[in-house]
Amino acid sequence: MKLKGSDMVISALEHEKVTTVFGYPGGAVLPLYDSLYDSSIKHILTRHEQGAAHAADGYARASGKPGVVFATSGPGATNLVTGIANAYMDSVPVVFVTGQVSTPFIGTDAFQEADITGITLPITKHNYLVKDVGELPRIFKEAFHIATTGRRGPVLIDIPKDVQNAVGEFVYPENVDIPGYRPTIEGHPGQINRMAKAIKASRRPVIIGGGGVVSSGSGKYLLELAEKGQIPVSLTFMGLGGVPGSNPLFLGMLGMHGTKAANYAVMEADLIIAIGMRFDDRVTGSLDSFAPHAKVIHVDIDPAEIGKNIAVDIPIVGDVKKTLKRLMKVFKAGQTEKWLERIKSWKTEEYDGATDKDSLKVPNIIEAISRLTTDRKTIVTTDVGQHQMWTALHYCFEEPRTLVSSGGLGTMGYGFPAAIGAQTASPESTVFCIAGDGSFQMNIQELATAANYNIPVKVAIMNNGYLGMVRQWQELFFGKRYSSTTLSGSPDFCKVAEAYGIAGIRVDSPGKVEEAINRALSVQGPVVMDFHVEPEGNVFPMVAPDSPLDEIMDGRDGQ
């Protein structure tokens, strides 16, 4: 069958069962948008390409399906870069399709030309510059395969305008054959047996689950391992929801803003069972002092992550779900009763700063959102900063894919467009975006997108008038010298929302929190809640950068 290149793109997306694309048109993708016009694929027009990238990212995390983005050449493509890097750092499958100037003009500094394949080489799992229309079917088949297998991640396809207009034979491949790409899926049986013996022999084991638990859909098997072995579980920020937050074996998040129980347990463990995580510096603290008494088992799909930051005694490269399923066939529980008693005592030491009911504190607001949404399927997205860590500490995530946030890159401005993507992927869910007043203003223009498509996300802005996390570090580590962290001049967010036709709710006292949340939940469309919280609240517990995990500041007595 003969097709234009732009028609091939649409047909390829239909073969990949893509139903929604996020994007922003421009001159170099006019043929593509013309072909999209007659397609059944839904297009969400954002107000900025970065918004489209984050929306597709949120769509992918909430659904487990790859997100898709369209953008034009030059500035359209470069506006995607932060979104691409964000997806790369958190291993999110997104296929980015960009227009490019026609092939005779490539390299001539033509209007809106940018070398987007060169620019994104370090932040994509793979990218393509298509110069022959006949290559389009194979490239799209490969792109979706690469994005969604092994360690997942973004793939970019750059298509010159003349290639979009060219005509060629379209036969969509059923399979792919990429000689240099063979992810290891099955963990080595001998290593899995060693893993089972080490767990049986351990008296103080701790499981650390990461984002790989969520992306591989292995939470059920991780919970089975924990419960049969009576092994306490901590999760990294990216792993939250991997096991239910209410489970008695759950210790909370680990690391810089981890709980005392999680951090102390890792420091006294004799065995670390690391599952689908990468020993990020926010998780380990000082590498030299991390888990000083423990042997380490590390299971991960990406061999490059094993041994990168932490020496590993039993490395296992493979899919987390398949490895855990195989482990359970040979698994025998050890003796952990005394260990669990010791951990129980640490749990009683937790101090969360949410006990003061007289002022409007963020932990109390997030706990109220968590409590008032227990009866419904809820997805929470966040921006980046203090509110993100408070959400990790105070929202009880019971299911995987219910937390959507920027973990690795830490992208301010991510949460709101990601909420639009998550809500599009899961229309039956209630979607909350918990944001800061600084973060929200980085992609505030997407209020138009939410209003235009009546996407009913509930935005909860923790408005403290500061770039809160930076201010906290300035207070703790720079003598309270607040250099350029005061957000004077911010707008009235309720009036901004109302200007877009969106309901706005202002909250300035603790007694109005639940009323505001319930009112937002009753609105059929999008809502912006503007919580005027205490200006200088700090997120505790906290471990100072590059310090041992058991040197915890908990906020009491100013420490």
Residue 354's pLDDT is: 55
Tell me the pLDDT tens digit for each residue of 360-371. 999 999 999 999
Where does the pLDDT of residue 224 fall: very low under 50, low under 70, confident under 90, or very high at 90 and above?
Answer: very high
pLDDT at 359: 85
Question: Residue 182 burial by CB count (10 A; 0-12/13-18/19+): exposed, middle or buried?
Answer: exposed
- pLDDT value at residue 353: 58
Active-site annotation holder among 4, 161, 260, 295:
161
Options 256, 389, 412, 469, the catalytic residue: 469
The pLDDT-based confidence of 555 (bands split at 50, 70, 90) is: confident
Tell me if 370 sits within 8 A of 403, measured CB to CB: no
Cα separation, 252 vs 267, in Å, equals 15
Task: State in Å, rounded, how far the first CA of the chain is from the last one.
Answer: 70
Catalytic annotation, pick one of 16, 49, 113, 142 = 49
Q: What is the pLDDT of residue 474?
A: 97
| The overall pTM is greater than 0.85 | yes
Of residues 111, 228, 308, 478, which has the active-site annotation?
111
Q: Is 357 a catalytic residue?
A: no
The whole-number pLDDT of residue 150 equals 97
Known active-site residue 49? yes
Q: Stretch 494-521: mean pLDDT, rounded? A: 97
Q: Are 54 and 61 in contact (CB under 8 A)?
A: no
* Residue 356 reports pLDDT greater than 90: no
User: Residues 14, 65, 105, 112: which is the catalytic one?
Assistant: 112
| Confidence at residue 258, expressed as pLDDT on a 0 to 100 scale | 96
Cα–Cα distance for residue pair 278/401, rounded to 1 Å? 19
The percent of residues above 90 in pLDDT, for the chain, comes to 97
Question: What is the arithmetic mean of pLDDT over 307-322?
Answer: 97
pLDDT per residue as tens digits for the range 229-269: 999 999 999 999 999 999 999 999 999 999 999 999 999 99
pLDDT at residue 556 greater than cutoff 90:
no
Mean pLDDT of 293-301: 98
- Give the C-alpha separation, 276 to 298, whole Å: 8
Task: Examine the pLDDT at 349 and tell me if it is beyond 90.
Answer: no
- Tell me if residue 125 is catalytic: no
State the residue for tokens 């990216």.
238
Residue 462 falls in the annotated catalytic set: no
The pLDDT value given to residue 350: 74
Sign of CA dihedral 229, 230, 236, 237: positive
Active site residue 250: no
* pLDDT of amino acid 557: 56
pLDDT tens, residue by residue, 435-484: 999 999 999 999 999 999 999 999 999 999 999 999 999 999 999 999 99
At residue 351, the pLDDT reads 64
